[in-house]
Chains A and B, each alone.
Chain A
Amino acid sequence: MNYFVIVDVTLREGIADPEGATIERALPALGFTGVTNVHAAKSFRFEVEATSESAALEKANSLGERLLSNPVIENAVARLAPGNRA
């Protein structure tokens, strides 16, 4: 069957995040105070044909590591999206 999956691609710790920093600097001008530690990330949604949830996640994680992220600077973690049949 098909599983709905999301892969989150985030910057590794210690890697500069100019997008997150720029967003954080813009917040006070918009009246948002008390918002700190802003990080920018990407997420990818897709459907995976697999025989089980764990097989679907394994495939998605492999895809995340090999294509969706650059392991030098990013982590990729797959999770099941809402909407999967129990």
Chain B
Amino acid sequence: MKRFGVVIFPGSNCEYDAALGVTQLGAEAEFVWHSDTDLSRFDGIILPGGFAHGDYLRPGALARFSPVMKAVAHFALEGGPVLGICNGFQVLTEAGLLAGALQKNRGLTFLSHDTTLIVASTRSVLTSEATIGQELVVPINHFSGAYTCDDATYESLVANEQVILRYRDNPNGSRGDVAGICNETRNVVGLMPHPERAMSTLLGSADGLVLMSSFVSAGIAVG
């Protein structure tokens, strides 16, 4: 059975959602404290949502220096799948594992509602089982979710098909409606919306299933 590590920073608060997201798909989830430095027992790593280190300084700015992040970088370099959801996405950009940065939302409003995402690329560990153009209803829950990067970075993200999800109706001012991206090797993904909270129609939407299922399928043990 595939086993996924869900990293808990002081201030993470979506770790149970993330764990349920993978166990619901038949995989195992194990919490990993942010001071752990060995991730070799896992087939994939999730950085969940929340407010790591209180979001002090900037979201993700201090989490980047947690000991576990060296192990996450190593895991990613070896080709292991890494998923950052919401705050986890912010941590991955601060750590330099994903390009760009997340800024305060346009309008300076905390946004907590469903959004419609459009699959822009299926070449990533998060979108491999989706289809291009597919619309997915997935909730957002953030204050700093406006994706930002310079022109050269944006052009290269688009050219390399690293923009994997876009908002249909841009809620937060993200550049190019970007909701989620992947790295050049397509095994590190980050997105502001919460697919792990859209796993059942009883809770409003099951559209996150195809994303979480892609990620679980991508799970692979790395050196």
Give a binary string over A57-86; 1 marks a CB under 8 Å from any B CB, 0 the rest.
Answer: 000000000011010110000000000000
| In the assembled complex, A2 has its CB within 8 A of some CB on chain B | no
- On whether the beta carbons of A18 and B107 are closer than 8 Å, the reply is yes
**A47 contacts the other chain (CB 8 A):** no
Given contacts A72-B101, A72-B149, A73-B148, contact A67 B57 (CB under 8 A): yes
Chain B: how many interface residues by the 8 Å CB criterion? 20
Chain B residues within 8 Å of A67, by CB: 57, 61, 65
A18–B105 Cα distance when bound, in Å, is 8
B173 in contact with A72 (CB, 8 Å):
no
Q: Is B202 an interface residue (CB 8 A)?
A: no
Instruction: Give the contacting residue for A72; candidates B100, B105, B106; CB below 8 A.
Output: B100
Question: Which residue from chain B places its CB closest to the CB of A73 in the assembled complex?
Answer: B101
Partner of B103, one of A14, A16, A22, A68: A16
**How far is the CB of A43 from the nearest CB of chain B, in Å?**
13
Judged by DSSP, the binding face of A is loop
Q: Is the CB of B104 within 8 A of A18?
A: yes
B162-203 vs A, CB cutoff 8 Å, 1 = contact: the mask equals 000000000001000000000000000000000000000000
CB-based contact A73/B61 at 8 Å: no
Inter-subunit contact B148/A19 (CB<8 Å): no
Q: Which of B65, B103, B107, B108 has the most CB of A within 10 A?
A: B103
A16-B103, A18-B106, A70-B58 known; 7 other A-B pairs, CB under 8 Å?
Answer: A15-B103, A18-B105, A67-B57, A68-B57, A72-B93, A72-B150, A73-B148
